[in-house]
């Protein structure tokens, strides 16, 4: 899969930075998703039963006790993103960790969500004190980070809770340092062990020194 053209346009707006590059996923890395999402569903008469590590197929209509169709699940997820400021709070330790990098790295946030939610998310992140550039992508993350790094051979670190995103970046930027961070570590039981070369971190205080080492900052 190639680079999402809208993501390419967003990358063009950034100044060409030569510092080490730190790219961060947003949901369940910087702000909570999997803990507030069930509360949002409940407020609308649905519930999340995470039997596998995916949303589709695991959202149930409380009244009928049946899983909802794919289209309704997508609508519910969309509604959550539209009202994210009401639900999504900061992941513990994230702000302190990023403050600790204090300008030594270029920090960019890369979120896999429809582009139409970019402004809402940007406003929400700013209100939480996370005023870093935010890119949205509707395609795999690997090509986006390859483009973001640019021609400079600078170190790259990438943090995400979704193994498929880490794998995509590993394919496109083979020397990137990959970190698997999950706001809710209990979900690790629902997924296979991480692929070789991926560093598992338990939380932000664990991640921060490892990221600094990887980036040489
Ligand atoms: Mg995520």
* CA of residue 32 to ligand 1 center, whole Å: 9
How many whole angstroms from 187 Cα to the centroid of ligand 1?
12
pLDDT tens sequence across 172-210: 999 999 999 999 999 999 999 999 999 999 999 999 999
Reported CATH class of domain 5-32+89-215: alpha beta
**What is the CA(160)–ligand 1 centre distance, in A?**
6
| Angle at alpha carbon of residue 214, lines to 211 and 217, rounded to 5° | 80
Q: How far is ligand 1, taken at its centre, from the CA of residue 87, in Å? A: 15
Question: Which burial class, exposed, middle or buried, applies to 61 when counting CB atoms under 10 A from its CB (0-12, 13-18, 19+)?
Answer: middle
Rounded to the nearest angstrom, the distance between the alpha carbon of 102 and the centre of ligand 1 is 23
Q: Where are the alpha helices (DSSP H) in 150-188?
A: 163-172
> How is the chain split into domains, by residue range?
5-32+89-215, 36-86
Q: What is the model's pLDDT at position 76?
A: 98
Question: What's the predicted TM-score (pTM) here?
Answer: 0.96
The DSSP H or E segment spanning 167 is: helix 163-172
């Amino acid at each position: 899969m190639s680079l999402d053209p809208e993501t390419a346009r967003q990358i063009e707006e950034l100044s060409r930075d030569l510092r080490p590059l730190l790219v961060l996923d947003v949901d369940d890395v910087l702000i909570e998703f999997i803990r507030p999402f069930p509360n949002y569903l409940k407020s609308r008469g649905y519930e999340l039963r995470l039997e596998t590590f995916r949303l589709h197929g695991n959202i149930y209509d409380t009244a009928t006790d049946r899983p909802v169709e794919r289209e309704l699940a997508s609508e519910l997820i969309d509604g959550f993103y539209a009202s994210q400021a009401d639900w999504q709070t900061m992941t513990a330790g994230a702000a302190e960790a990023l403050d600790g990098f204090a300008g030594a790295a270029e920090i960019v946030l890369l979120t896999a969500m429809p582009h139409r939610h970019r402004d809402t998310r940007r406003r929400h992140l700013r209100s939480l004190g996370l005023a870093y550039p935010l890119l949205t992508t509707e395609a795999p993350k690997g090509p986006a980070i390859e483009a973001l790094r640019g021609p400079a051979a600078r170190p790259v670190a990438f943090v995400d809770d979704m193994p498929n995103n880490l794998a995509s970046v590993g394919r496109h930027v083979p020397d990137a340092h990959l970190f698997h961070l999950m706001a809710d570590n209990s979900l690790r039981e629902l997924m296979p062990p991480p692929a070789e070369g991926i560093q598992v971190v338990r939380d932000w205080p664990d991640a921060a020194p490892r990221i600094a080492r990887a980036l040489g900052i």
